[in-house]
A and B are shown apart, each in its own frame.
Chain A
Amino acid sequence: MLAPIDKISDAAGRLAGWMFFVIGIFIVYEVVARYVFLAPTVWSEELSRFLQIWATYLAAAHVLRKRQLIAIDIIVRTGGPRLRRWCESLALLVIIIFCLVAVYFGAGIAIDSIRIGRASSSMLAVPSWLTELAIPVGFGLLLLQAVAELIRTLGGSTDISVSHH
Chain B
Amino acid sequence: MAAPIFLFLITDYPHMIAALILLSLLLLLFIRVPVAFALGGLGLLLLWLKDISVVMVPQALYSAADSFVLLAVPLFLLMSNVLLKGGVGKDLFNAVQSWVGHFPGGLGIATIISCALFSAISGSSVATAATIATVAIPEMIQRGYSRPFVLGLLAAGGTLGILIPPSIPLILYGVITEESIVKLFMAGVGPGLLLTALFILFSIGYSLFDKNYQPSPKATWTQRWQTSFRALPTLLLAIVVIGGIYLGVFTPTESAGVGFALALVIVFALRTMTWQKLKLAVSESMVTTVTIFLIIAGAKLFGKAITLYRIPQEISTAITTNISEPALFILVVCLVLLVIGFFLESISMLLIMVPVLFPALNAMMIDPIWFGILFVVMIECALITPPVGMNLFIIQAVAQVPLAEVLRGVWPFMLIMFGTVVALYLMPDIVLYIPFKL
Q: Is the CB of A56 within 8 A of B290?
A: yes
Assembled-state Cα–Cα distance A57/B35 (Å): 16
> Would A23 and B74 be within 8 Å (CB), given that A59-B286, A71-B35, A72-B35 are in contact?
yes
- The count of chain B contact residues (Cβ–Cβ below 8 Å) is 57
Which of A20, A52, A70, A91 is in CB contact (< 8 Å) with B291? A70
- The count of chain A contact residues (Cβ–Cβ below 8 Å) is 58
Task: List CB contacts (< 8 Å) of B44-70 with chain A.
Answer: 44, 54-55, 57-59, 61-62, 65-68, 70
**Binary CB contact string for chain B from 257 to 301 against chain A (1 if under 8 A, 0 otherwise):** 110110000000000000000000011011101110111010000
Which of B33, B44, B61, B260 is in CB contact (< 8 Å) with A28? B260
**Residues of B with C-beta under 8 A to A11:** none
Assembled-state Cα–Cα distance A97/B61 (Å): 15
Chain A contact residues: helix, strand, loop or mixed = helix
**Residues of A with C-beta under 8 A to B261:** 24-25, 28
**Residues of A with C-beta under 8 A to B40:** 98
Q: Is the CB of B37 within 8 A of A48?
A: no
**Residues of B with C-beta under 8 A to A95:** 33-34, 37, 41
Task: List CB contacts (< 8 Å) of A50-103 with chain B.
Answer: 52-53, 55-57, 59-60, 62-64, 66, 68-76, 87-88, 90-91, 94-95, 97-98, 101-102
Q: Confirm or deny: B30 has a beta carbon within 8 angstroms of a beta carbon on chain A.
A: yes
**Residues of A with C-beta under 8 A to B358:** none
Q: Confirm or deny: B254 has a beta carbon within 8 angstroms of a beta carbon on chain A.
A: yes
Q: Is the CB of B41 within 8 A of A49?
A: no
Assembled-state Cα–Cα distance A14/B280 (Å): 10
Q: Is the CB of B38 within 8 A of A30?
A: no
Q: Is the CB of B254 within 8 A of A27?
A: yes
Assembled-state Cα–Cα distance A88/B59 (Å): 28
Q: Confirm or deny: A150 has a beta carbon within 8 angstroms of a beta carbon on chain B.
A: no
Q: Is the CB of A91 within 8 A of B66?
A: no
Q: Is the CB of B71 within 8 A of A31?
A: no
Q: Confirm or deny: B32 has a beta carbon within 8 angstroms of a beta carbon on chain A.
A: yes
Q: Is the CB of B78 within 8 A of A90?
A: no
Which of B54, B71, B253, B285 is in CB contact (< 8 Å) with A101? B54
Chain B contact residues: helix, strand, loop or mixed = helix
Q: Is the CB of A68 within 8 A of B291?
A: yes
> A16 to chain B: closest CB distance in Å?
5
Q: Confirm or deny: B414 has a beta carbon within 8 angstroms of a beta carbon on chain A.
A: no
> Would A48 and B282 be within 8 Å (CB), given that A98-B41, A131-B62 are in contact?
no
Assembled-state Cα–Cα distance A59/B35 (Å): 17
Task: List CB contacts (< 8 Å) of A7-41 with chain B.
Answer: 13-14, 16-18, 20-21, 23-28, 30-31
Q: Is the CB of A135 within 8 A of B254?
A: no
Which of B78, B250, B388 is in CB contact (< 8 Å) with A24? B78
Assembled-state Cα–Cα distance A30/B75 (Å): 14
Q: Confirm or deny: B343 has a beta carbon within 8 angstroms of a beta carbon on chain A.
A: yes
Quick check: which of B133-141, B186-194, B344-352 contacts chain A, the rest being far away?
Answer: B344-352
**Residues of B with C-beta under 8 A to A66:** 287
Q: Is the CB of A109 within 8 A of B254?
A: no
**Residues of B with C-beta under 8 A to A16:** 286, 290
Assembled-state Cα–Cα distance A95/B28 (Å): 12
Q: Confirm or deny: B29 has a beta carbon within 8 angstroms of a beta carbon on chain A.
A: yes
> B179 to chain A: closest CB distance in Å?
21
Closest 5 CB pairs of A and B: A27-B257, A106-B58, A69-B34, A17-B286, A91-B33
| Interface residues, chain B, with chain A CB atoms under 8 Å away | 28-38, 40-41, 44, 54-55, 57-59, 61-62, 65-68, 70-71, 74-75, 78, 250, 253-254, 256-258, 260-261, 282-283, 285-287, 289-291, 293-295, 297, 343-345, 347-348, 387-388
11 contacts between A and B (CB under 8 A): A13-B287, A17-B286, A20-B285, A24-B74, A24-B260, A31-B258, A49-B68, A53-B62, A59-B287, A63-B290, A131-B62
Other than A16-B290, A59-B290, A108-B55, give 6 A-B pairs with Cβ distance below 8 A. Answer: A23-B74, A55-B74, A71-B33, A105-B54, A105-B55, A105-B58
| Interface residues, chain A, with chain B CB atoms under 8 Å away | 13-14, 16-18, 20-21, 23-28, 30-31, 45, 48-49, 52-53, 55-57, 59-60, 62-64, 66, 68-76, 87-88, 90-91, 94-95, 97-98, 101-102, 105-106, 108-109, 131-132, 134-136, 139
